[in-house]
Amino acid sequence: MASLVNVRYNSEGIIEYISVDGHAGVKKIGEGYEVCIALSSITQAMQRALISIVGKKYLIYKIDNANLSLILKDFDKLEESKKKEYKIVSEGYLIGIKELIKEYPDYIKYKEER
């Protein structure tokens, strides 16, 4: 089974929710394992970067086993410079994810909501 990356945008086109579910089709070590590691690494790096930008007050996150989710709250209360940094990092994450999907389409699925 493939991992599912789900992204939801708010009315301003800002990513307000990201979830990554599943183990990227890993059946046994050596079959998709590297894709799972790459997806997890990119996602956790993005999560840490976003927390360092906006703080835990504005970003709710949960990590357990094969699932990670991030929810941005009160975006309108952030300083403009923080909003800009958040947008750059979250959009950069999506570029990385989409490139990974191009390389390994059987292991990662992507869903976007607006």
Which distant-in-sequence residues (6+ apart) come within 8 Å of 66 by Cβ? 3, 21, 22, 23
Residue with tokens 């906006």: 54
**pTM of the prediction?**
0.86
pLDDT tens per residue across span 7-66: 999 988 899 999 999 876 666 666 667 888 889 899 999 999 999 999 999 999 998 887
Q: Tell which wins on pLDDT, 83 or 35.
A: 83
Fold designation for 3-113: Alpha-Beta Plaits (3.30.70)
Rounded mean pLDDT of 103-109?
A: 89
Q: What is the pLDDT of residue 6?
A: 96
Determine the Cα angle at 50 with ends 47 and 55, to 5°: 115
